[in-house]
Structure 1
Amino acid sequence: MSIDQNSHSKSFADIILPVPIGKYFTYRVPLSLENDIQPGCRVLVPFGKRRVITGLVVHLHGSPPKKYEAKSIIDLLDELPIAEPIQFRFFEWMADYYLCSIGEVMQAAIPSGLKLSSESQIQLHPEFNIDNHDKPISENEQIVLENLSVDKTLTYTEVSDLLGKKSIHPIIKSLIQREAIIIFEQVKEKYKPKKEKRIRLKSPFDSNTDELEDLMNSLDSKEKQQAVLLRYLQKVPVLHDSNANENGILKSEITKDEELSNSSLQTLIKNDVFEEYEVIISRFDLSDKEVDDEQKLSLEQQTAFDQILKEFEDKQTVLLHGVTGSGKTAIYSELMKLALSSDRQVLFMVPEIALTTQIVQRLKKIFGNKLGVYHSRFSDNERVEVWQGVKNKAYDIIVGVRSSIFLPFDNLGLIIVDEEHDSSYKQHDPAPRYQGRDMAHILGRFHNAKVLLGSATPSTESYHHAKLGKYGLVSLMNRFGESQMPDIELVDLRDAKKKKKMKGDFSLKLLEKIEETLATGDQVIIFQNRRGYAPYLQCETCGHIPKCEHCDISLTYHQYKKEMRCHYCGYNEPLPLECDACGSRKLKTVSYGTEKLEEDLQLFLPEARVGRMDLETTRRKNSYETIINDFDSGQINILVGTQMVTKGLDFDKVGLVGVLDADRMMYFPDLRSYERTFQLLLQVSGRTGRREKMGKVMIQTSIPEHQILHWVQSHDYEKFYFSEIKERHSFLYPPFSRLINITIKNPDKLNAIQTSEAIAFALKKKYGRKGILGPQEPPVSKIRNQYLMQLIVKIDRKTTNLGKIKSDIDQTIATTLQDKNFKRSRVVIDVDPY
């Protein structure tokens, strides 16, 4: 009896593939897989002529595609789904809103350890006979063929290692032309569970005392083997408890002992005394933690907590505006307990990894192993284990950075976005270019979960929504306990330079205060939002500044590595001995970065223990944790850093914060420059005086009369907000409009300009000149050998046809790029770019 596959409900599957194409792909489901395949499972599918990639099953149905012949799924990779149906709805929403493909969302969402990789391999052609070949074979070809006859297959990497050559393509090409080899793709699972080797006694020695005694006697002449057995019996009391043998011991507990012989252990395994086996273990510490949830909220915290619950009664989102050091984390943990008591999951979002160390340590004391962590410094395997932990309900709470919104939650009850104002929540490249805080709202909507935003300096948009009543608003305006807000002093650099009261880049006033603070046993944080030794080098003779070969930007000098580096593309070159333009050896550093400040402080204050926290010092996985712990324990007493040190870190003994270059931040060409300056200065000020003693902040500036600095000085968020919102309203900027940034990239500058003008002309024809800004060159107009042009589309927030406008923009760009003159141009669309 034949089966009509087209009418069968599981004959075809709609699948998301991690490619930048905005649709699902339909594949035929083999009969052998129909009983096992489910939505949310990973499958292996052919794509293109030779590619094999991992896809996610979204729908199963009986309808074949109308415009192409469906290929068959190669294999099913999961017995149970790894993704939730609600995630697919979320992926679709994100792709639609951010004008990208659902494949790009999947590529960002799924840990790379869950995506299979294929690696080219070679094997002997079954009809090839070396004796019947006329053409002479080279020595390298002979080595490859001989190894293939023994090992059957070799990867490209193995061939390269075998021959000791980096470039093996000419050899491979020659062997293909001879029809000596066949190339194929070997697909490999990336994720590998962590395993540990253990040993235990085999039957009958594990439960029979007489047999064990006989064994001991038989080893009298074999002292080394007997020593191994005795050590095992010391560790595992099988004579008193036969069940103790079940788990055995780690093999390393025997082999690490220099007095015990590894070969003797292997002999005992070979003679069936011991058995060696492997067990899969977690990459995370799952040992039982002492849980301590005896934390009491102060009267003000309790009032804020009650107000949040009241606001949640009729609002999905609440903004908690709490000054630095007001104890927001304690309120967060009480809300988490409430969510867990209702059997709901919790997502606690933080902007950067730097924040996770302290927060995780605190929350672990309260929630133990119910809490998992998810961030980009984890290895592929670690991220897969957290993903699976969420799916398998091993974790009820996740502390994570922006990418944690993609985890497979199925019962999310509460999302907390800490430091919600932070720009790190925005993903810039690659697509989807999403805003993590905004996506928390959407995720909350899908799960019917409550969303709490927390900040001492809320984003203008969030505070505006709260003022309008769209969000609930709860304020916490006093620091916890006896702590007071720090005293903020502005140091006039114009006056200090005029009176020659400077030492390097430090005013004498700031240096004296640093010495005074260290003398009392307190610590110091120095904030400079620029890494490296100096922003650039300049020739004193001709004024030439070394630039990146690939970008329109000066190279930053890094003294530690003695190199010039581009912070946009990573290009680097050795420190020049003379000017490229005129040959002069008079090269000087201009301005300063964190590396130079660290060096100067060690020179000025030789007794101080200076540390640095920036991108250069935190590249390694646990480097954040090491620096934070060293500062917390007092091994470092001056910490120099970029905006990483402004994040919500909590240290008991910080008596002074010094800010060296506030002016440059204010005049950066950006819509949010004032807002970000205000936020950064107030946030870094909040790192001091968090206990009984009042802290001190000193801000070096050449414009002490600037209003922003005075609002920082008086901790006056309200005045800053009303000034900023007035300005935004005048120019119809967010939150009164939505912005879409369109960047045109092309290796030819003229072509980039022409493409941008063609897109701008088409859009202005549809929507008028008022809503389309540009085209114009961005501040950095060339990156990685691509010339850039920008357009900004401004859309009134009140518009009801946002979807139609976005669709028109997408279609206009696609139509323009079909013109043969513009085919080399690439267009990047960034919705809500700032």
Structure 2
Amino acid sequence: MIVQVALISPKHIIDRSFDYIVPKELEDAVKVGIRVLVPFGLYNNSVEGLIVGISQSSQFTRLKRIKSVVDTKPVCSKELLSLCVWMQNRYLCPFYSAFKLIVPPKMKTVIRRWVSLQNADTAGISEFQKKIVDILTQNDGIMEYDHLGELVSSPAYHRSLNSLADKKVISISEKISDSIRELTIRIVKLKISSDEAYAAADELFKKHAHVQGNMLLALADSEKLTTSEIIALSDGNYSSLAALTEKGFVEIYSEKKVREVYDESDYIVTNEYEPTDEQKPIIDYIDNLLDENKHEKILIRGVTGSGKTEIFLQTIRKCIEDGKRAIMLVPEISLTPQMVERFVSRFGKRVAVIHSGLSYGERFDQWNKIKNNEVDVVVGARSAIFAPLENIGMIILDEEHENSYKSEINPRYHAREVAEYRASANGAPLILASATPSVDSFYHAKTLGDYKLFEMNNRYNDNSLPSVEIVDMRSEIFNYHNMSPISNRLEFEIRKNLEKNEKTILFLNRRGYNTFVSCRQCGYVMECKNCSIPLTYHMNSDSLVCHYCGYSIRNVSVCPECGSKHIKFFGTGTQKIEDELKRLFPEAKILRMDRDTTSTKGSHEAILNKFKNGEADILLGTQMVTKGLDFSDVTLVGVLAADSSLGVDDFRANERTFSLLTQVCGRAGRGDIPGRAVVQTYQPKNSTIEFAKTHDYIGFYENEIKFRKRLNYPPFCDIISILVQGKTEDIVKSEISSVFEFVKNSDDNHNNIIKLAHPMPAPIQRIKGDYRYRILIKVRDADLSLDILHEINNTHIQKNKNTTMIIDINPINMS
């Protein structure tokens, strides 16, 4: 039997499979999707691989044999294996990079090699080999292979070690372990009845074996306890426990313990609502697709508060009743706690949760539960689309317009595209939903008919959408001499909310205290030494921080350029707004939600629970507070810098601004009390802001689609970014110029190219010390350019070791 093995080691990223012979004794254990250890390279070191195919013959001769089988059952289904291959081609990534997405983080086989001294006789060996023997002798005759290599530090090390092994001077062994595994706990259980345990305890007390007696009494009352629990209860030790085992009173065994990510008892069971006239046709349509096992793409545009989540819940219930399973994606970790609460309240413990905020152990256990078919629904952020769920009946992307569904690291996949692939492979409907669908999705639904379009224009409780008031911040300065980032109108509305005990959400799309620090005398701006961007001031640590590479320095009081003490802070961040709120409303309880306050495990949920439970009057935050949050007692939303995202060098700037404003304003008025929003801007007549004021998505879309068509931007084309970065600017410029010439002179790609831009420095020219240059290509269809992109990528891998190339199709971040 021959197996085709793809290497899945970060040290061996080779995009091809290798044929290996399966020893007779391992043939029954071999399946596609199983991990194995194989000999690889000149010295046949063990490398982890994945079986991707099985055959009876090979075109190659002198094949090596696989060493061992790691798994008892496949870690990768055939569907997910096909997905990895598709991603390889679509996103120009190695197989290894795609595979790591479908297994839990840190899941790998740890191979530790040991060198043992077998014979200290140094006759007939070289001086260098004698040095190796001496070092081993000084270290009790055994050392780790890599540690020994560091001490001798020679390119001849591997060859010399193999020579010593051939001469029986040393032996080389391997110790194999999993980097992450199921958690087991040691359990103590009575082997005798409770009555017998009481009697035995009395006898032990008479013999002054008080600890053993107390242990038996504890077990007689509890049946079974963990070893740590019984030792704590009896003030005992492990030797006393061992004595009870020897006497046949108790037995000790291991039991699997799942690291749970939620407690089902924390949630109140909820029942289905009666669907509205707008919800019912959508539910019926999806139910029919489920009955027919039919794949179709559906876009639901529903205003904020229209009841999209109830549609998800009721159609998933139908999906489960049909014996199928569902994936529910949300764009942000901050949205996961509320969505988990709704799903667990409806479906109980048959819900798994996956997102990057979980510990490695928790993610492993959730992955295991899904793989073992112990759950019906997977809820999570972008990475949950790779859950090993079988028999998928439907996939849902909530807030489908969100940029966070696109990965900005390799592989640069979009969760929507991966969801389309998996839904199609399973014959399942794909549901996209948003109050502000992406312009691309709405165009594909309304004009091209690629998606079935449903629209919900009313809130579930028939409440009106919040009234929106635009405040011209120029008037605040020139007419009212108000230099505060909080306008007079917003201050008045917040004060009114505090008096009525109603809650307020404030949105500012900047973290930190000030956006940059500059010298008023010479104009010098404090910049990151590694990146070509200004440092941001953080008041809590009195430091200047780069939000790209993490570089930080103590705050400056003297200009490093001219020596002036006239240092000024420009811009306003969330920390500064928090201080201003405390000054204006000293009686108010304020919570701040940004990356700085949510960096620890469980912090998103803790902040939202405090706000939900009435422990705060005002929730101030960045984009985390703009979508998905559903608090019935929030009646006021304030947007502090509505136009900050309009001035970005990105054709999607209007779309992002409209979505942000519409989504955050939609957090108000979800209960019985009407909501209101105050939007502060320096561009009150900007059309995007005016459309957001009236919640007019259709008006915004029609205006935006004309602009996109006129300038040939997506959805009327695809944009490909090819970026080269490295430490030496001349090398980077030379490579990007070569790529440009290759694309320009490629006959195969000519008819597909709409516009090829000349090489230019990236908008942020340097990050983490790397110079960055790029070309942008507008093409009619990116799929038609994949062959030439693979050729460019392969040439880079073969010839350019001192640079990194990033090829991104329809990038979200244009910097």
* TM-score past 0.5 threshold: yes
CA distance in 1 between partners of 2:609 and 2:404 (Å): 23
Shift, 1:591, TM fit: 0.4
Shift, 1:787, TM fit: 1.2
Partner residue of 1:771 out of 730, 752, 755:
755
CA deviation string 1:44-90 (max 9, x = no partner): 22444576432221111133354x85433221111211211111212
Partner residue of 1:274 out of 250, 258, 261:
250
Task: Give the conservation status (yes or no) of the 8 Å contact 2:754–2:779.
Answer: no
2:385 maps to: 405
CA distance in 1 between partners of 2:469 and 2:170 (Å): 75
CA deviation string 1:342-366 (max 9, x = no partner): 1111011111111110110111011
Shift, 1:568, TM fit: 1.3
The answer to whether the aligner puts 1:716 opposite 2:702 as a matched pair is: no
CA distance in 2 between partners of 1:724 and 1:311 (Å): 33
Q: 5 Å matches for 1:384-783?
A: 384-429=364-409, 431-467=410-446, 468-766=448-746, 767=749, 770-783=754-767
Partner residue of 2:305 out of 298, 314, 325:
325
Alpha carbons of structure 1 residues 566 and 27: separation in structure 2 relative to 1, 3 Å: farther
Alpha carbons of structure 1 residues 155 and 655: separation in structure 2 relative to 1, 3 Å: farther
1:201 maps to: 190
Q: Which amino acid is 1:233 matched to?
A: A
Partner residue of 1:57 out of 51, 65, 77:
51
Alpha carbons of structure 1 residues 16 and 344: separation in structure 2 relative to 1, 3 Å: farther
Q: Which amino acid is 2:493 matched to?
A: K
Count, aligned residues: 786
Shift, 1:804, TM fit: 4.7
Partner residue of 2:84 out of 80, 91, 96:
91
The answer to whether the aligner puts 1:251 opposite 2:227 as a matched pair is: yes
Local SS of the residue matching 1:781: strand
Local SS of the residue matching 1:441: helix
2:774 maps to: 790
Task: Give the conservation status (yes or no) of the 8 Å contact 2:197–2:220.
Answer: no
Partner residue of 1:219 out of 163, 183, 205:
205
CA distance in 2 between partners of 1:182 and 1:581 (Å): 62
The answer to whether the aligner puts 1:114 opposite 2:107 as a matched pair is: yes
Task: Give the conservation status (yes or no) of the 8 Å contact 1:492–1:701.
Answer: yes
Local SS of the residue matching 2:644: helix
Local SS of the residue matching 1:778: strand
Q: Which amino acid is 1:196 matched to?
A: I
Alpha carbons of structure 1 residues 636 and 718: separation in structure 2 relative to 1, 3 Å: same
Shift, 1:687, TM fit: 1.1
CA distance in 2 between partners of 1:578 and 1:188 (Å): 55
CA distance in 2 between partners of 1:550 and 1:579 (Å): 19
Local SS of the residue matching 2:629: coil
Aligned-residue CA RMSD (Å):
3.2
Task: Give the conservation status (yes or no) of the 8 Å contact 1:200–1:274.
Answer: yes
Alpha carbons of structure 1 residues 352 and 183: separation in structure 2 relative to 1, 3 Å: farther
CA distance in 1 between partners of 2:289 and 2:235 (Å): 67
Partner residue of 1:190 out of 168, 179, 193:
179
Any gaps of 5 or more consecutive residues in structure 2?
128-132
Task: Give the conservation status (yes or no) of the 8 Å contact 1:538–1:589.
Answer: yes
Shift, 1:103, TM fit: 2.5
Q: Which amino acid is 2:185 matched to?
A: E
Local SS of the residue matching 1:708: helix
Shift, 1:274, TM fit: 2.6
Q: Which amino acid is 1:39 matched to?
A: V
Local SS of the residue matching 1:665: coil
CA distance in 2 between partners of 1:185 and 1:552 (Å): 47
Q: Which amino acid is 2:497 matched to?
A: T
Partner residue of 1:33 out of 23, 26, 39:
26
CA deviation string 1:650-690 (max 9, x = no partner): 11221211111221201101121110110011111111111
CA distance in 2 between partners of 1:495 and 1:183 (Å): 78
CA distance in 1 between partners of 2:348 and 2:104 (Å): 25
Alpha carbons of structure 1 residues 588 and 422: separation in structure 2 relative to 1, 3 Å: same
The answer to whether the aligner puts 1:828 opposite 2:806 as a matched pair is: yes
CA distance in 1 between partners of 2:262 and 2:187 (Å): 18
Task: Give the conservation status (yes or no) of the 8 Å contact 1:23–1:101.
Answer: no
Q: Which amino acid is 2:780 matched to?
A: D
CA deviation string 1:505-543 (max 9, x = no partner): 222221222122122111121111111122211122222
Shift, 1:280, TM fit: 1.0
Task: Give the conservation status (yes or no) of the 8 Å contact 2:336–2:379.
Answer: yes
CA deviation string 1:399-451 (max 9, x = no partner): 1222222222331110011111000000011x210000121111111111111
CA deviation string 1:458-490 (max 9, x = no partner): 011111111132111111111111532111111
Task: Give the conservation status (yes or no) of the 8 Å contact 2:33–2:51.
Answer: yes
Alpha carbons of structure 1 residues 818 and 398: separation in structure 2 relative to 1, 3 Å: closer
Alpha carbons of structure 1 residues 154 and 789: separation in structure 2 relative to 1, 3 Å: closer
Local SS of the residue matching 1:667: coil
CA deviation string 1:174-223 (max 9, x = no partner): 99899999887644311221122221123xx337x568625523423424
Local SS of the residue matching 1:409: coil
Task: Give the conservation status (yes or no) of the 8 Å contact 1:415–1:452.
Answer: yes
Q: Which amino acid is 2:85 matched to?
A: E
Shift, 1:20, TM fit: 4.3
Alpha carbons of structure 1 residues 586 and 76: separation in structure 2 relative to 1, 3 Å: same
The answer to whether the aligner puts 1:17 opposite 2:4 as a matched pair is: no
Q: Which amino acid is 2:755 matched to?
A: G
Alpha carbons of structure 1 residues 644 and 183: separation in structure 2 relative to 1, 3 Å: farther
Alpha carbons of structure 1 residues 538 and 129: separation in structure 2 relative to 1, 3 Å: farther
Task: Give the conservation status (yes or no) of the 8 Å contact 1:354–1:625.
Answer: yes
Local SS of the residue matching 2:269: coil
Q: Which amino acid is 1:432 matched to?
A: P
Shift, 1:322, TM fit: 0.8
CA distance in 2 between partners of 1:199 and 1:227 (Å): 14
Alpha carbons of structure 1 residues 297 and 790: separation in structure 2 relative to 1, 3 Å: farther
Q: Which amino acid is 1:295 matched to?
A: E
Shift, 1:774, TM fit: 2.9
Q: Larger deviation: 599-608 or 730-739? A: 599-608
Q: Which amino acid is 1:392 matched to?
A: N
CA distance in 2 between partners of 1:111 and 1:46 (Å): 25
Local SS of the residue matching 2:316: helix
Task: Give the conservation status (yes or no) of the 8 Å contact 2:327–2:379.
Answer: yes
1:351 maps to: 331
Local SS of the residue matching 1:511: helix
Task: Give the conservation status (yes or no) of the 8 Å contact 2:330–2:380.
Answer: yes
2:130 maps to: none
Local SS of the residue matching 2:64: coil
Partner residue of 1:292 out of 262, 265, 269:
269
CA distance in 2 between partners of 1:715 and 1:211 (Å): 72
Alpha carbons of structure 1 residues 539 and 46: separation in structure 2 relative to 1, 3 Å: farther
Q: Which amino acid is 1:276 matched to?
A: I
CA distance in 2 between partners of 1:311 and 1:288 (Å): 31
Alpha carbons of structure 1 residues 705 and 310: separation in structure 2 relative to 1, 3 Å: farther
Q: Which amino acid is 2:8 matched to?
A: L
CA distance in 2 between partners of 1:305 and 1:417 (Å): 16
CA distance in 1 between partners of 2:135 and 2:625 (Å): 56
